[in-house]
Amino acid sequence: IEGEATFYGPKIDVQTKNALGKEDTIATVQVDFYSAKKFDLNFINEKGEKEHPVIIHRAIMGSFDRFFAFLTEKTGGNFPVWLSPVQVLILPVGEKFNDYGEKVLAELKSAGIRAELDEANETLGKKIRAGKTKKIPYLLVVGEKEKEAGTVAVNFRDKPEQETMSVGQFTKLVQKEIAEKVSKSREVVANAVRLLNLPKDIRDALRADKLSRAHAKALLAFSDDKKQREVYNQILAGGVSSKDVES
């Protein structure tokens, strides 16, 4: 491609559009036929002879700084709960409730939740504004009523309503949200691994949208997804076409 910095071999670029619509390279894999000779890198091949290897430059994230710059732009700083550096900020309504705030903080940290306590001698309104400016997913207001009842008043980043619940209930809420993301990520990886393990003719048929009954029968041995298995069985029965199979 004209203007690209590709000097020593073919490459694959993964392009993404930033918040302004400009295209940037977020990942690249490049074959290098040049550097091994330049640095006299070699190995002994099956004939017992020295041979220069082909080097593969693999930069899946380009650089951590650039990757997180893209991510910050894309989300506008509204990182999902599982990724947020601070997941919960506890806001005592006054200094005399800092001790209860510290108790809540200890419970959240023991549950593996990244939480902080704002002990600044400021008004509650100013604390809430500061927390929302930092785009922290959950702000917990604690005062006299919450201390007596063992509860927290939860301010959500993505909805205006405030809800009061026990510390235990809130902990389960956050843990569930994080666990669902982890489960989904594992499912995506597992599906990708299954696809890579499929015979080549089935992978080609999936890409070309030409699944036959024989392909569907073979896919049943690889898929654990209930909906996908239903579709494959319907293909076997002649009830649907391969266009009904979700990628």
pLDDT at position 244: 46
Our measurement of the distance from residue 131's CA atom to the centroid of its chain's CA atoms, rounded to an integer in Å, reads 23
pTM above 0.85, yes or no: no
Given this model, what pLDDT does residue 127 score? 95
pLDDT score for 200: 64
Exposed/middle/buried for 192, CB within 10 Å: 0-12, 13-18, 19+?
A: exposed
In the chain the beta strands, taken as DSSP E runs, fall at: 11-17, 23-32, 43-44, 50-51, 55-59, 88-92, 115-117, 138-142, 151-156, 162-166
- pLDDT tens string, the chain, 247 residues long: the values are 566 666 667 888 888 887 778 888 888 888 888 888 889 999 999 999 999 999 888 887 767 787 788 888 888 889 999 999 999 999 999 999 999 999 999 999 999 999 999 999 899 999 999 999 999 999 999 999 999 999 999 999 988 889 999 999 999 999 999 888 777 766 665 665 565 555 666 556 655 555 555 555 555 555 556 655 565 555 556 544 444 444 3
Angle made by CA atoms 77, 79, 80, in degrees to the nearest 5: 160
What pLDDT sits at residue 53?
A: 92
